[in-house]
């Protein structure tokens, strides 16, 4: 059964470093330690990478690898995940989610 990579890229309404740091802290508070998590990371865009192929429209990146689709699906319904959305969604100008099966 493949693992699932759940990558989320947030563009903030307030694109300051302070706002990005607050969202990263919220990711760490609410989105770590969910059952079935194999890997977790959250951080800010690396501005020094500005090649034509680099997408520079996001401020914060979140990557979670789950051991299975079922673990991801349970995470989506978890209270801590719902609280993260409720507390932070008003600050998002755009959210892009990329889910991929990992071999």
Q: Which residue has the higher pLDDT, 103 or 21?
A: 21
> May I ask the CATH class of domain 3-98?
alpha beta
Nearest to 88 by CA among 6, 34, 8: 8
First-last CA distance in the chain: 8
Place of tokens 């990005």: 20
Give pLDDT, residue 55. 87
Kindly list the domain boundaries of the chain, sorted by start residue: 3-98
Give pLDDT, residue 103. 83
Distance in angstroms (rounded) separating the CA atoms of residues 19 and 25: 10
- Give the neighbor-by-neighbor strand order of the sheet with 37-44: 37-44, 60-66, 3-12, 92-102
Burial level of 19, CB count in 10 A (0-12/13-18/19+)? middle
Whether pLDDT at 92 is above 90: yes
- Provide the whole-model pTM: 0.94
Whether pLDDT at 81 is above 90: yes
Give pLDDT, residue 67. 98
Total Cβ atoms within 10 A of residue 18: 7
């Amino acid at each position: 059964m493949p693992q699932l990579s759940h990558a989320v890229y947030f563009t903030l309404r307030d694109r300051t470093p302070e706002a990005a740091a607050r969202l990263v802290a919220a990711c760490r508070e609410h989105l770590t330690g969910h059952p079935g998590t194999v890997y977790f990371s959250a951080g800010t865009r690396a501005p020094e990478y500005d090649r034509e192929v680099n997408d520079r429209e996001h401020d914060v990146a979140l990557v979670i690898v789950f051991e299975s689709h079922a673990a991801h699906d349970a995470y989506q319904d978890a209270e801590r995940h719902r609280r993260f959305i409720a507390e932070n969604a008003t600050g998002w100008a755009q959210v892009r989610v990329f889910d991929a099966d990992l071999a």
